[in-house]
Structure 1
Amino acid sequence: MYEDGEKTWSIELVGTDSFDLEDEDWSCDEVFDFGTRDNPLSWIEETSWNVILDKMIEIIRKYLAQGLYSGLLKEYQGISIGFVDGDIEILFTK
């Protein structure tokens, strides 16, 4: 996720070639970005970065619990979220 300024936030969805609970650098091992690098999902909201992070965590956890394609996502080793310059929150692991 990114804090773009001017109350604008964006998020990219990426797939990586590795996953390691002990080393967050696995998230830099990108192999595809679903087209979100050039066209990130963006929105305007006047709030703090930690509120945005909490909201996104809640949305993704809800989707993983009852979303149409949650089973497909759970076939992967892990799912996480975080700001590009911050810590990663692991939301699912096999």
Structure 2
Amino acid sequence: MTLDSTLAPWLEQALQSPLPDAVVGLSFNLSEGAAGDDASFCIELVGTDRFDAQDPDWACDEVWAPEVREIELPYSLTGHHWEDCLAALHTALLQALATPRFGPRLTAQVQGIGLGFVDGDLQLLWQRDG
């Protein structure tokens, strides 16, 4: 199992219907998952009704989430440290944005896409020019 083979089916399901018109920003939110032997991180996708690259709280204005809002990502895919997880997801999501399969569907109507840990700093993955 790879990060791509885990994220792709989830993204495919999340994007099977067009985003609601109110969505102008997308945020991939990371959090710590279950503790124990199968410890993991979780990733969720939400849509927001505003986007402002200068305001780190823009991703708090959630108006949409896919039916399967969140999936778990085992440490074997992300590493054990939050910095490793963030770096792995940053790379994987940039790769997804660069594909014809996901890029147009993620960017068609939004002004920006972010990634970060809940209650942490948000990294900008993509922003519409102009």
Rg larger in structure:
2
Unaligned runs of 5+ in 1: none
Which structure ranks higher in relative contact order (CA pairs < 8 Å, sequence separation ≥ 6)?
A: 2
Which amino acid counterpart does residue 118 of structure 2 have in structure 1? Answer: V
Alignment TM-score, normalising by the size of structure 2: 0.66
Give the paired residue count. 92
Shift of 1:25: 0.9
Deviation per residue, 1:20-72 (Å, 9 max, x gap): 011011100000111344xx210221510000000000000001112403112
Counting aligned pairs with the same residue, the percent is 36
State the distance in 1 between where 2:83 and 2:100 align: 24
- Which of 49, 64, 68 is residue 32 of structure 1 equivalent to? 64
Matched, 1:49 2:82: yes
Shift of 1:5: 4.6
Which amino acid counterpart does residue 52 of structure 2 have in structure 1? Answer: D
Matched, 1:65 2:95: no
Please give the secondary structure, in 2, of the residue aligned with 1:79: strand
